Amino acid sequence: MTTNTYSASKGLGPKERLFLTSLAGEGKRIFRVDEALPYWISKQQAFNALGRLVKKGWLQRLERGLYMIIPLEAGPAGQWTDDPLVIATQLIPDGAVAYWPALHYWNLTEQVPRTVFIQSLRQRNPSQKTILGVRYKFVWIKKDRFFGIVSRSSESLKINITDREKSLIDACSRPDLCGGILQVAQALQAGEPIDWDRMDSYLKRMGSGAIYKRLGYLIETLDISIPNQEDRLWNWRQSMSQGIALLDLGGLQMGSVKTKWWVRVNVPAWNET
């Protein structure tokens, strides 16, 4: 999307054209109302202008106060879907894409999730919404578990996302948000480089015995080789909490209990060894 593309466009008033070309020149495709206010005399004029641009097909309203510029490539029908991870970051600028879409981003799964999960330090109501056919679900987490966030870009637009190691740990914490424990197992077997010292650091910060149980059981059962495996697994077992953890949170309270890791293998299709 270039400035001269908008300059040559028809159906735009001078101020509308200036506004769109200015944002395009700054590389902004998604913006908030506050960024539009300086281009008009009053807030009401700005709102009216944004409404007109939506009707003309130049803007897409993502949610209250948040808009996306629709490029000419969208065609006459205005059919255009921007990167869902970019939109997710704009929906909650202080949040992070996590769980299944994060696993996919880091090539830990080939399965494309139908829902974009966003970790947030604040609860949102409603907890999910659909934008341009994509469902976004907001997951509230405690502050001490909100870490391991990195910034990446898509077509020069910012994406906040959990890093590879935190994505795996989150998956072991909430396999129900990652397509189930079998999907988590595939992620561990993906062959992507994992910093296991960082994993240990993150595990301590999470402070969840259930994560140790699921991760340790999967590593042993899948025969995944990790550095200092014997010592590392022993240390994990010392950090396990009391009680039995379901291997798959989305499964039933059934299946055998593996006392070494205190997990209930409640996945019928699981090839137990």
Q: Which residue has the higher pLDDT, 106 or 191?
A: 106
Q: Quote the tokens at residue 13.
A: 């008033």
Cα distances from 106 to residues 54, 167, 190, in angstroms, run: 35, 9, 10
What CA–CA distance (Å, rounded) separates 24 from 4? 10
Q: Is residue 271 domain-resident?
A: no
150 with 43, same domain?
Answer: no
CATH of the domain at 62: 1.10.10.570
101 with 17, same domain?
Answer: no
34 with 135, same domain?
Answer: no
Total-model pTM: 0.80
Cα distances from 219 to residues 187, 193, 267, in angstroms, run: 11, 15, 16
Element (H, E) at 153: strand 149-154
190 with 57, same domain?
Answer: no
Q: Is residue 166 domain-resident?
A: yes
Residue 10 confidence (pLDDT): 52
Q: Is residue 272 domain-resident?
A: no
Q: What is the pLDDT of residues 76-134, one digit of tens each?
A: 444 445 689 988 998 888 999 999 999 999 999 998 898 999 999 998 888 998 887 88
129 with 29, same domain?
Answer: no
What CA–CA distance (Å, rounded) separates 103 from 184? 9
37 with 95, same domain?
Answer: no
What CA–CA distance (Å, rounded) separates 260 from 245? 12
153 with 227, same domain?
Answer: yes
92 with 166, same domain?
Answer: yes
141 with 258, same domain?
Answer: yes
Among 74, 101, 123, residue at a domain's last position: 74
For 146, the domain range is 84-264
Total number of domains constituting the chain: 2
259 with 159, same domain?
Answer: yes
Among 46, 74, 102, residue at a domain's last position: 74
48 with 172, same domain?
Answer: no
Q: What is the pLDDT of residues 28-70, one digit of tens each?
A: 888 889 988 998 888 898 889 899 998 888 888 888 889 888 7
**32-64 exposure pattern, b = at least 16 Cβ within 10 A, e = fewer:** eeebbeebbeeeeebeebbeebeeeebbbebee
Q: What is the pLDDT of residues 16-37, one digit of tens each?
A: 888 888 887 787 888 889 988 9
Neighbours of 232 (CB within 10 A): 16
Among 31, 55, 74, residue at a domain's last position: 74
Spell out the long-range contacts of 245-249 with Cβ–Cβ below 8 A and sequence spacing 24 or more.
245/209, 245/210, 245/213, 245/214, 247/181, 247/214, 247/217, 248/175, 248/176, 248/180, 248/181, 248/182, 249/174, 249/175, 249/176
90 with 69, same domain?
Answer: no
